[in-house]
A and B are shown apart, each in its own frame.
Chain A
């Protein structure tokens, strides 16, 4: 199903969907919205992307992180070496000089990892209440008032976990279905 209109539009629409889904996530505490619907909206863009470009292309473009690793270790300071590597990696898609020095590694972001992160966030948000002497899942609020985000607290952490969980599961289902 590859039409040029959809193929062009979806590349521009993915960030729109993402931003809107995060807005829905933040809105969720007092208005309709929240983690579940946010995760669904966030994954819509990727569903269309898979439909037009296929699973392989999607995985390559969005779910792979290219890391560069300096083969020649800095013998003076390990911390400086790490910092150096981090600085090089943070320059997105830029050519670095001395290409031969760098070892390329590809890290795959599997949907399973996103699911696990979501579960972890959601479960851990409850622990904060537990370790402050209240029952599990007691909401702890920071008391700040930030525009768009609202009042952050442990419930927001929980909702973010749900967001990632739903996002990851929909992606996994999409990839499996697209392959068949």
Chain B
């Protein structure tokens, strides 16, 4: 009969797919779509939690789709890292869907928002679970096409302007990724990631040619993850759509790019590794600095947060660049923490924007006086982002710095610490302007909101803040999990043996 691990690996993909299908069947009935999306997202959280539990107890889970054996068919693989990503994505997705019940305007909800966000969720889970290089590309396309539509949903002028940049650069990135996959297939004759990992470690591999192939992946995944020279599309487009959309996209998508980078550059592209890692170190430093400086210069709530996404990506790349078990563990924990924190900050900005009708720091004020609870929630996320001790941001940064010092990479450690301080500065700026200073005189009336609306806007933020606090206060368990995930990532034999069934 039904075998549990086949089902567990499929549920994160099938649940959103069926959710989207049922949403399509109930086209024009928004309330029904809302109910479906909420139920599916809750089920996703449970299913991905079960997947994480199973992977944690039984090791890497594998299923061969269509019962075709490994190098020929498409494999789905879940190790601890990918299971953690799926859990993070589903929790974030649940929070965002809950927020969008009231945080998104009705015409947009009516025009296919719920099927899209479910499909996007499926794309994210697909990228995390696939064990096939071409399939990875396909899932990236699933995810990007949903993103394209979601960014343009509603069709206002700034949205279209942002979307043009987003779509153009991402199509370019997809083209490069596909070219890279083609080159890798041409060199090795395989697309299965486990078999590739085995082939590139053979002495017969053509090193210079394979290094050339890996540059395609550096550039294309670098664009998707918004690394230093390639990040400019992100702040230009992420602030344009409504918050419910940009929080999910901004919170999750670049991290999926980083996930793919870590997966591929630990498993497959290990040829001439010193060269690649040195490049990553430099890029990571620049990404951090440029991102945070951009954030310091801006006075729009959402633009500041968008630039911070870029800056935080630098930390994640830094962990990959140092390339020890500890540093990869730091990166993994950083990704999980950052998805929660970034989404939560976007959601807080959404609540402020919804209740005050503006995102401009200069027009906002007095929120601490009017909404002390919201101010507390913002403070938790903002300080977690900056990395203050009891909160979730401190531990991954601490691990990264420790790993950096152990590996004697003092420059990047210094840069990362300075960037942390500037991050704190720009969070303080938001705090000062939005929550602390006196409300400037405006003649605009505030849009009013009833009790249920407020409850539904606050619930996801409280939920995510609890997740942040949980990671911060129960750090030992979180760090232990991340460390074991990093061990699994670096011990590639485990992955290869699990997939190829040797």
Q: Which residues of A contact B (CB under 8 A)?
A: 110, 112-113, 115-116, 119-120, 123, 127, 129-139
Q: Mark B56-71, 1 if CB is under 8 A from A, else 0.
A: 0000000111110000
Q: How far is the CA of A110 from the CA of B20 in the complex (A)?
A: 16
Q: How far in angstroms is the closest Cβ of chain B from A145? A: 22
Residues of A within 8 A of B66 (CB): 129, 135-139
30 contacts between A and B (CB under 8 A): A110-B27, A112-B24, A112-B27, A113-B24, A113-B25, A115-B24, A116-B25, A119-B17, A119-B21, A120-B18, A120-B21, A123-B14, A123-B17, A127-B14, A130-B6, A130-B10, A131-B1, A132-B1, A133-B2, A134-B67, A135-B63, A135-B64, A135-B67, A136-B6, A136-B14, A136-B65, A137-B65, A137-B66, A138-B67, A139-B66
Taking a contact as CB atoms under 8 Å apart, the answer to whether B21 and A123 are in contact is yes
Residues of A within 8 A of B24 (CB): 112-113, 115-116, 119
Q: How far is the CA of A8 from the CA of B239 in the complex (A)?
A: 53
Q: Which of B2-26 contact A (CB under 8 A)?
A: 2-3, 6-7, 10, 14, 17-18, 20-22, 24-25
Taking a contact as CB atoms under 8 Å apart, the answer to whether A133 and B1 are in contact is yes
Q: Which residue of B lies closest to A168 (CB)?
A: B24
Residues of A within 8 A of B1 (CB): 131-133
Q: How far is the CA of A120 from the CA of B67 in the complex (A)?
A: 21
Taking a contact as CB atoms under 8 Å apart, the answer to whether B27 and A133 are in contact is no
Interface size on B, residues (CB 8 A): 20
The 7 closest A-B pairs by CB, nearest first: A116-B24, A138-B67, A137-B66, A135-B63, A112-B27, A116-B25, A119-B21
Residues of A within 8 A of B21 (CB): 116, 119-120, 123
Q: How far in angstroms is the closest Cβ of chain B from A155? A: 9
- Cβ-neighbour of B18 out of A123, A129, A136, A139 (below 8 A): A123
Q: Which of B24-43 contact A (CB under 8 A)?
A: 24-25, 27
Q: How far is the CA of A31 from the CA of B131 in the complex (A)?
A: 30
Q: How far is the CA of A119 from the CA of B16 in the complex (A)?
A: 12
Residues of A within 8 A of B2 (CB): 130-131, 133
Taking a contact as CB atoms under 8 Å apart, the answer to whether B27 and A136 are in contact is no
Scoring A119, A131, A136 by chain B CB atoms within 10 A of each residue's CB, the highest score goes to: A136
Q: How far is the CA of A136 from the CA of B27 in the complex (A)?
A: 28
Residues of A within 8 A of B67 (CB): 129, 134-135, 138
Q: How far is the CA of A132 from the CA of B7 in the complex (A)?
A: 12
Residues of A within 8 A of B7 (CB): 130
Q: How far is the CA of A119 from the CA of B118 in the complex (A)?
A: 14
Q: How far is the CA of A137 from the CA of B9 in the complex (A)?
A: 13
Q: How far is the CA of A132 from the CA of B24 in the complex (A)?
A: 28
| Apart from A131-B1, A136-B66, 13 more pairs, CB < 8 Å | A110-B27, A113-B25, A115-B24, A116-B21, A116-B24, A119-B20, A129-B66, A131-B2, A132-B1, A133-B3, A135-B67, A136-B10, A136-B63
Q: How far is the CA of A116 from the CA of B17 in the complex (A)?
A: 10
Q: How far is the CA of A112 from the CA of B25 in the complex (A)?
A: 7
Q: How far is the CA of A130 from the CA of B18 in the complex (A)?
A: 15
